[in-house]
Amino acid sequence: MSASPRKTDIGPPNFEKFLPPVVKTNYGQWKYHEILKPGVMVHVAASGDKLYTVRAASPRLLSVATIRMFAALADRFTGGFLRFTSRNNVEFLVSDPANIDPLIAELKKEGFPVGGIGPSISNCVHTQGWVHCHSAASDASGVVKSVMDDLYPHFANMDMPGKLRIAFACCLNMCGAVHCSDIAILGIHRKAPKIKHGDVPKMCEIPSLVSSCPTGAVRPATVDGLQSVEIIEEQCMYCGNCFTVCPAMKIADAENDGISIWVGGKVSNARTEPKFSKLAIPFLPNNPPRWPEVVEAVRNIVDAYAGNARKFERMGEWIDRIGWPNFFKLTDIPFTRYHIDDFKHAGETFRRSVHVRQV
Amino acid sequence: MSEERKKRETPLLDELESGPWPSFVKEIKKADTAMADDLLGVLERSYEEKIGHWKHGGLVGVMGYGGGVIGRYSDLPQDFPEVAEFHTIRVNQPAGWFYTSDALRTIAGIWERHGSGMTNMHGSTGDIVLLGCKTQELEPVFAELTAAGFDLGGSGSDMRTPSCCVGQARCEWACYDTMGACYDFTQTYQDELHRPAFPYKYKLKFSGCPNDCVASVARSDMSFIGVWRDEIKVDAEQVKAYAAGGKLDIQKDVCDRCPTGCMKWDGAALEIDNANCVKCMHCINAMPKALAPGDDRGAAILIGAKAPIVGGALLASVFVPFIKMEPPYEDIKELLSRIWDLWAEHGKNRERVGEFIQRVGLGNFLEQIGLDPVPEMITAPRANPYIFYQDTVEDEA
Ligand code: HEM
Ligand code: HEM
Ligand code: HEM
Ligand code: SF4
Ligand code: SF4
Ligand code: SF4
Ligand code: SF4
């Protein structure tokens, strides 16, 4: 083994090796699909062949023990074939419909509920949080677990007017897909990094530290006779890049870090164009382990949407129809100065007409 | 083995073991490694203190690669020595995230032998994320991965791991072979993927239809969204079946929601003015058994999505309204290399291609890469008169 040459640049395995026979035979020949019940759909090919999909939630953060458990379930029920979705669900690709219910029962027993297809709340796309990232303003996994425990009935039942996608990112770098979600939960820092001037010359290279800041807020400075840096606070938008290159620029702040909530984004082109999510709640505190304020706020928005939107209407389409003033009224969320854009191109969101619903 | 290790007390995290949603805390416990113990310990500390305890550090990676590994260190190495080094390895996923049970067990085995036993299935870019690797284990993991036919994904200022929706493998709406295209582009650009040489990252994402299940319009520098040019296929009998079924009001739920009002329903037959259909997918989503995309299929290419850093978020915009997606995709690769050449030469450090286009102007950008402007690229012509005319008549001096 040690004698074999080092392999590089082979790329990923060819997906064809991993396709179930029914997919290989009917590749590109699917005719229609039907959702049979929550979390279960059937795709029917022109040939008449059928492929059943059972979709289960996962926390994304998976141990190898669970990966082995999924593999064992696949061996028992699908001939060994499974896939994951873009929202971190796991899908079992079943050929024999008799296997569907026993598979669902096993998944439930293991703690992986089935659902997330059709007009439901699918899995929550999220980032690393305190589990792994250095710039996190909140934990991703804990917030997602708390929010989804609460919204679980909407994952397991198709009881929403349309699709409702929730995403979480733990800082404004938004590594996770949050800017275009029906509800985006976003960790935020609210203070510029605190500089440990004594450590800067020891731990950091000042030119690369200065150039790391995307807004040019970090400037070289001499502090108490030592080479260090200063931050122009008005220019800092709390991205944590300076901390990435210099551990003496700590950005985490237990009391000032927290969570903001954004609504009405979508990526699909169905009916209306893709849209960004817009600010609903500027700040909620970090309150681990269960973040009750965040859970409550998300449920409130989900309930307002579920109770008022029309069939197929996404969150953003509903709000566009009723108007933002009504959104704030129906959800009882206070409207503040923070809701008014004051970054570049801010004026694009000012109302330039008297098209106002007067009440 | 687990008997010998002293279990840490984690009362806050333990509260996240209950409830119907799958628990990540149970997962960390199930990993049952010394590294996972310390991960749980440091996370409990974060839950107590409400701050994270990770930091970046020196460059780490595998020999000959500039990307694929993200260095991560604990800022409490004395309290949690097992996670003092806790790097991420990004492993390029198979297109469409399809696996066999054997393939999953292969990855599980490698990661049991060398790492924390924790993964993300998958990272937001699409990669398999092996979470928590010590520096000395990086080369052994890489050797075992490549021996098993897997390779690393991207990170840093390189082409990032391309990803795609399930496409023709299972979706009747796929207007081209997303998985085939994703695999082809990934293999073509192995060097660009593994050795960062761009101003910043460059992402390719492939969705088979305008539902855009991989969110390419929001997340990729170059987005390939399947569309068709001819008529929506209508199965009149199935339309009647939907009408009779009672769950769907064809006038209200379908025709009235069509963004261009191009559908007519008289209670018996559905008529579509296809010249005015903008391929939004709504009617097809609503009646999958009755309607389907036409036969003249391809993709629209959009360009320039990005996250807020630095100049604000952008959604991608239309770049090529329609192109046939046929292997080996020579025309697209030609276009891509012209974009990369221009951006690599003139883009600033950490300037995504979307920001680059905003800075230099889409008109200039198109001219430089030799693409003609077409009205499909915009929602409306400019309203301001600040035009820099190029074709003015020079004074005879
Ligand atoms: C009944 C029809 C549909 C089926 C069977 C379906 C199936 C799927 C599947 C399998 C995925 C995961 C894709 C992947 O992992 O590559 C997905 C994702 C997605 N679908 Fe659909 N889809 C349907 C309808 C729609 C509609 C109508 C929309 C939008 C209006 C939509 C929007 C999305 C989006 C945005 C994603 C990506 C985000 C996500 O993963 O949830 N889908 N869909
Ligand atoms: C200045 C900006 C950014 C910085 C400093 C940054 C930093 C990071 C870091 C440190 C990680 C690793 C997290 C971990 O595993 O510990 C990460 C992950 C990631 N980043 Fe970023 N990022 C930035 C912007 C972005 C943007 C704009 C995107 C995408 C649009 C993005 C997408 C991702 C994704 C997808 C991951 C993987 C996250 C996951 O799967 O949980 N990042 N980023
Ligand atoms: C060099 C700059 C400008 C020149 C030479 C100019 C010239 C004129 C002239 C000759 C008229 C017609 C007056 C009439 O009806 O007798 C006019 C009308 C008007 N101008 Fe300007 N203008 C200039 C800039 C602006 C700017 C910057 C604005 C607004 C931002 C503006 C707003 C208007 C408006 C609202 C009218 C009335 C238009 C209407 O009847 O609908 N102008 N301008
Ligand atoms: S969103 Fe921010 S904190 Fe979260 S993983 Fe990305 S860079 Fe790290
Ligand atoms: S947090 Fe970001 S914006 Fe603020 S000083 Fe650091 S690098 Fe600059
Ligand atoms: S993007 Fe379209 S083709 Fe691809 S999986 Fe989604 S619905 Fe199907
Ligand atoms: S795809 Fe959209 S635009 Fe085209 S007919 Fe259907 S609803 Fe109308």
What is the residue extent of each domain of chain B? 11-147, 163-228+298-396, 233-292
Contact state of A274 with B212 under an 8 Å Cβ cutoff: yes
Angle CA B374–B379–B380, to nearest 5: 85
Task: Work out the minimum CA distance from A116 to partner chain B, whole angstroms.
Answer: 12
Judge whether B122 is closer than 8 Å to chain A, CB to CB.
Answer: yes
- Per-residue burial over A235-274, b = 16 or more CB atoms within 10 Å of its CB, e = otherwise: ebbbbbbbbbbbbbbbbbbeebbbbbbbbbbbbbbbbbeb
Average pLDDT over residues A74-86: 97
Q: Which ligand is nearest to the CA of A268?
A: 1
Q: Please report the atom of ligand 4 found closest to the CA of residue A133.
A: 8
Cβ pair B255, B241 in contact under 8 A: no
Q: Please report the atom of ligand 2 found closest to the CA of residue A140.
A: 41
What does the alpha-carbon distance between residue B42 and residue A344 come to, in Å, rounded to a whole number? 39
Query: What digits encode the pLDDT tens for the residues A11-23?
Result: 999 999 999 999 9
User: Strands across the sheet with B118-121, in order?
Assistant: A61-63, B118-121, B128-133, B87-91, B69-70
User: Strands across the sheet with A50-56, in order?
Assistant: A30-37, A40-45, A50-56, A90-94, A81-84, B98-100
Contact state of A112 with B22 under an 8 Å Cβ cutoff: yes
Ligand 7 geometric centre to CA of A242 (Å): 47
Ligand 3 geometric centre to CA of B388 (Å): 22
Q: Taking Cα atoms as reference points, which of A8, A74, A6, A72 lies closest to residue B150?
A: A8
Q: Is the pTM of this model over 0.80?
A: yes
Name every chain A residue with its beta carbon within 8 A of the beta carbon of B131.
61, 131-132
Task: Work out the minimum CA distance from A304 to partner chain B, whole angstroms.
Answer: 21
Task: Work out the minimum CA distance from B266 to partner chain A, whole angstroms.
Answer: 21
Q: Is domain B163-228+298-396 given the CATH code 3.30.70.2740 in the classification?
A: no
Contact state of A63 with B259 under an 8 Å Cβ cutoff: no
pLDDT reported for residue A57: 97
Predicted ipTM of the assembly: 0.93
Name every chain A residue with its beta carbon within 8 A of the beta carbon of B47.
130, 139, 142, 288-289
Name every chain A residue with its beta carbon within 8 A of the beta carbon of B312.
343-345
For all residues of chain A together, what is the average pLDDT? 94
The pLDDT confidence band at residue A80, using thresholds 50, 70 and 90, is very high
Q: Which of A65, A125, A311 comes nearest B253 by C-beta?
A: A311
Ligand 7 geometric centre to CA of B146 (Å): 46
Average pLDDT over residues A6-14: 95
Task: Work out the minimum CA distance from B192 to partner chain A, whole angstroms.
Answer: 10
- The DSSP result for B140-186, as a single string, is HHHHHHHHTT--B---SSSBPPPEE--GGGT-TT-SS-HHHHHHHHH
Alpha carbon nearest to ligand 5 atom 3, residue:
A236
Q: Which ligand is nearest to the CA of B226?
A: 6
What does the alpha-carbon distance between residue B391 and residue A124 come to, in Å, rounded to a whole number? 52
Contact state of A214 with B50 under an 8 Å Cβ cutoff: no
pLDDT reported for residue B306: 76
pLDDT reported for residue A1: 47
Ligand 2 geometric centre to CA of B111 (Å): 23
Q: Which of A59, A177, A344 comes nearest B219 by C-beta?
A: A177
Q: Which of B119, B210, B214 comes nearest A67 by C-beta?
A: B119
Average pLDDT over residues A115-138: 95
Q: Is domain B11-147 given the CATH code 3.30.70.2500 in the classification?
A: yes
Average pLDDT over residues A335-357: 87
What does the alpha-carbon distance between residue B283 and residue B95 come to, in Å, rounded to a whole number? 28
DSSP code, position B376: G
A200 Cβ inside 6 Å of ligand 5: no
Task: Work out the minimum CA distance from A36 to partner chain B, whole angstroms.
Answer: 13
> Which residue from B211, B250, B274, B279 has its CB within 8 A of the most atoms of ligand 7, so it is best to mutate?
B279
Q: Taking Cα atoms as reference points, which of A257, A317, A284 lies closest to residue A135?
A: A257
Share of chain A above pLDDT 70, in %: 98
Average pLDDT over residues A72-91: 97
Per the document, the length of chain B is 397
Distance of CA B360 to the CA centre of its chain: 26
Neighbours of A278 (CB within 10 A): 17
Share of chain B above pLDDT 70, in %: 97
What does the alpha-carbon distance between residue A66 and residue A82 come to, in Å, rounded to a whole number? 14
Contact state of A176 with B124 under an 8 Å Cβ cutoff: yes
Three-class DSSP category at B225:
strand
Contact state of B183 with A14 under an 8 Å Cβ cutoff: yes
DSSP code, position B231: P
Distance of CA B315 to the CA centre of its chain: 13
H/E stretch holding B343 reads helix B330-346
Sign of CA dihedral A156, A160, A163, A169: negative
Contacts of A146 (CB under 8 A, 6+ apart): A289, A290, A291, A292, A294, A295, B16
| Residue at B65: amino acid letter | Y
Contacts of A135 (CB under 8 A, 6+ apart): A170, A171, A173, A189, A239, A240, A243, A244, A251, B52
Cβ pair B190, B147 in contact under 8 A: no
What does the alpha-carbon distance between residue B192 and residue B183 come to, in Å, rounded to a whole number? 14
Residues of chain B falling short of pLDDT 70: 1-4, 57-58, 309-311, 397
Q: Which of A113, A214, A271 comes nearest B20 by C-beta?
A: A113
Q: Taking Cα atoms as reference points, which of B283, B281, B339 lies closest to residue B165?
A: B281
Contacts of B337 (CB under 8 A, 6+ apart): none
What does the alpha-carbon distance between residue A349 and residue A323 come to, in Å, rounded to a whole number? 13
Assess whether the region B11-147 and the region B233-292 belong to the same CATH fold.
yes
Judge whether A242 is closer than 8 Å to chain B, CB to CB.
Answer: no
Ligand 7 geometric centre to CA of B178 (Å): 22
Contact state of B21 with A43 under an 8 Å Cβ cutoff: no
- β-partners of residue B272 are B263
Sign of CA dihedral A225, A229, A232, A238: negative
Q: What tokens appear for B115 in the block? A: 């790492």
Contacts of A277 (CB under 8 A, 6+ apart): A178, A179, A180, A181, A182, A183, A184, A262, A263, A264, A265, A316
Cβ pair B45, B135 in contact under 8 A: no
- Per-residue burial over B210-236, b = 16 or more CB atoms within 10 Å of its CB, e = otherwise: bbbbbbbbbbbbbbbbbbbbeebebbe
H/E stretch holding B227 reads strand B222-228
Q: Taking Cα atoms as reference points, which of A88, A93, A90 lies closest to residue A75?
A: A93
Determine the CATH number of domain B233-292. 3.30.70.20
Q: Which of B16, B151, B212 comes nearest A268 by C-beta?
A: B212
What does the alpha-carbon distance between residue A257 and residue A172 come to, in Å, rounded to a whole number? 12
Residue with tokens 């520098």: B221
Phi, psi values for residue B61, rounded to 5°: 175, -175
Query: What digits encode the pLDDT tens for the residues A83-126?
Result: 999 999 999 999 999 999 999 999 999 999 999 999 999 999 99
Would you state the torsion angle of the CA atoms of residues B354, B355, B359, B361, taken in this order, to the nearest 10 degrees?
10
What does the alpha-carbon distance between residue A340 and residue A349 come to, in Å, rounded to a whole number? 8
Q: What tokens appear for B186 in the block? A: 């990934």
B125 Cβ inside 6 Å of ligand 2: yes
User: Strands across the sheet with B317-323, in order?
Assistant: B163-164, B204-207, B222-228, B297-303, B317-323
Name every chain A residue with its beta carbon within 8 A of the beta carbon of B107.
67
What does the alpha-carbon distance between residue A179 and residue A172 come to, in Å, rounded to a whole number? 10
Query: What digits encode the pLDDT tens for the residues A175-212?
Result: 766 789 999 999 999 999 999 999 998 889 999 899 88
Cβ pair B348, B339 in contact under 8 A: no
